[in-house]
Amino acid sequence: MDLPKAFTEYMAHLIGEEACRRLEQGLADEPQVSIRLNRRKLAGCGHECPVPQSADVAVPWCRTGYYLKDRPAFTFDPLLHAGAYYVQEAGSMFLEQAFAALSADAGFQEPLMALDLCAAPGGKSTHLRSLLPEGSFLVSNEPMRPRAQVLSENMMKWGDPACMVTNGYPADFSALEHLFDVVVTDVPCSGEGMFRKDEGAIADWSPENVELCWKRQRSIIADIWPALKPGGYLIYSTCTFNALEDEDNVAWIARELGADLIPVPCAEEWGIQGDLTGSNLPVYHFLPGWTRGEGFFLAVLRKHGQCEEAEDGWRACLPRKAAKKGKPDKKDKNKGRNEISASELITLSGWLSGSDWEWLAEDTQISAVPKEWADACRAVKECLTVMHCGVPVAELKGRDWVPRHGLALNRACCRDSFPQVELSYEQAVAYLRKEALVLPADTPKGFVMLTYRNFPLGFAKQIGNRANNLYPDAWRIRSGYVTPCSVLFP
């Protein structure tokens, strides 16, 4: 690997010549592949959390993480599309230990409002959603709209009803003062930790870019800081090695914005390195050559102060009036309706498990969010463009409500409301490619939920002797060939 000379000189000065050579050797090794299981979805589909058949060893700092022996053709595994697991760098799974540390520090017992600020493509968001206490709510944000669309897709596949995907910049959260208990900021960085996986990261690296990055990172944290409650927790992370973007920025946050660093317990045999500057800050580096995976850095900070709680808890922190920044509600009667009749509500309610839902009708689409978070969702919507919220339930086509694809993937879906057809592997891949379907002759007419190994993949509509494939066109597998793949099960 032809690393930039300025980079190796800097790292040699930071960690010493011998350690720098070890890092260079680690970066020259083959990239690692790791996945994290969706424990709740696996249990809901009748599976214990399995050891994947493709697994090599477990990721020691994540109870549902596994290194794989090699990189399979994930595109052709229906269970990836069903949200049974997520392909994620092992180092970033250290979020689990960070969240455990802040939970122990705070003694969290109540549901939390959390934000993942720079969330695409969704690795940390899906992980955080699995770590939050029951009844919590997660807002996952991405400033770049194409990346926000990918994030929305991955969050829908993960299938949790208490989450929201937004498209906005950190400054857009300024009106949401003291709303969040936890904020995760995996800030854009110079990408040194990705040198092994991405040749473009090497080409783009320069001392000038590092300078630009650490300044931008401080701006991002300063913008989001008011939205974090006093006494709340910031998880700061990058995928880079240098102290300017890592230790120096963490020290700046603590000193200038007012925060304490929270230690994260980790075992010595994990190979995680601490402060590279000699300042003994409780920070955590994942360096190729010491840990198995790509480069990663993390620190946990607790904001100074204490949030004043009222009888209505977190609602006391909602803004009284937020500036409108999101897209306005569309009222075009030719496109759809913004009301649901009582009879329609009875039908749609049957598609969800439980009854404690707030219904959101906009244009031709209906969603549902847990009632206890409806006010928070409305407040966020006043400030940001919302890409996805709660459970995508139905879409009006003509005079009929059609189940939305995200409903099938969501754990809140009442599966018994629909006839179900289990697909073979070949049929499942054909469905994901949005090809024509022929279902069993005794399949009832109407909307049918299609499953693979008991995991819902989506809907089809049976009409006579054939079925309309309702898989979203934007999500379909576009490859013209198939490489059989089964990561979890034989």
Question: Which letter, b or e, does each residue of 345-372 get, where b requires 16 or more Cβ atoms within 10 Å of its Cβ?
Answer: eeebbebbbeeebbbbbbebebbbbbeb
Backbone angles phi, psi at 19, to 5 degrees: -65, -35
DSSP conformational letter for 291: B
DSSP conformational letter for 75: G
| Euclidean distance between CA atoms 425 and 52, whole angstroms | 17
Question: Which letter, b or e, does each residue of 202-220 get, where b requires 16 or more Cβ atoms within 10 Å of its Cβ?
Answer: beebeeeebeebbeebbeb
Query: SS in 3 state form for 143-164?
Result: CCHHHHHHHHHHHHHHCCCCEE
**Which tokens belong to 317?**
């922190």
Out of 45, 118, 189, 239, which one is annotated catalytic? 239
**Which tokens belong to 467?**
């079925």
Strands (E), 312-436: 357-362, 365-370, 385-389, 391-397, 400-403, 420-422
Position of tokens 């993942």?
116
Residue type (1 letter), 468: N
Residue 121: asked if its preceding bond is cis (omega within 30°), the reply is yes
Known catalytic membership, residue 377: no
How is 410-436 classified by DSSP, letter by letter? STTB-GGGS-EEEPPHHHHHHHHTT--
Catalytic sites, residue numbers = 239
